[in-house]
A and B are shown apart, each in its own frame.
Chain A
């Protein structure tokens, strides 16, 4: 069966520091991968998605970037964090016939 992992689970970082969040999927190949952010009290905002290695689509211009160095690995990065980058970051994948997405457990990022 397929599983999706995210780490770290929680992270507290100072403003201006770099960021690297990792997402990996097991049990499937060539998945579509997604990064979402949930700010406090708000819905899900799609940040990036990828349909293959090295293929990244950005949905919202911002302080973040994404990379997909391997088929089942998706990384979210920042060179310098802002206070507004705080939130709950969710990775998701799909590969099914009707495009439902399956979500990881999330990373809680607090920027101080």
Chain B
């Protein structure tokens, strides 16, 4: 069965600091992996996706993630945090039928001056 674990429900960084949001997955089939961002009272927006091509995936807003099969990880990073990055971030993996997504519990990112 597929599952996603996001380590750290809350992460706080200073503006300009590195952002690292952790995601580990479990999948019985080759996974497709996604990161979404959610701003308050809005829907989820796709940041980036891994689709079995390049293991380093670049997304919108300067974010990127690296697929590491040996570590079953897909951590999200950004070299320099902006105040506008404050939001909740969700990691997701495709379900076994490939028509469902399994979401992690989310990580709320706070960025302080």
Contact = CB atoms under 8 A, between A and B. Distances in A.
Contact of B106 (A43, A51, A88, A90): A43
Interface string A21-33: 0000000000010
Name the prevailing secondary structure of the A interface residues.
strand
B46 to A, nearest CB: 6
B101 A108 contact: no
A100 B41 CA distance: 21
Given A43-B106, A90-B43, A101 B101 contact: yes
Contacts, number: 49
A100 B105 CA distance: 18
A44 B90 contact: yes
B45 interface: yes
A7 interface: no
A60 interface: no
Interface string B14-43: 000000000000000000101010000111
B103 interface: yes
Given A102-B46, A103-B44, A43 B99 contact: no
Given A99-B98, A100-B49, A44 B103 contact: yes
11 contacts: A42-B105, A43-B104, A43-B105, A44-B44, A49-B99, A51-B99, A90-B43, A90-B44, A104-B43, A105-B42, A105-B43
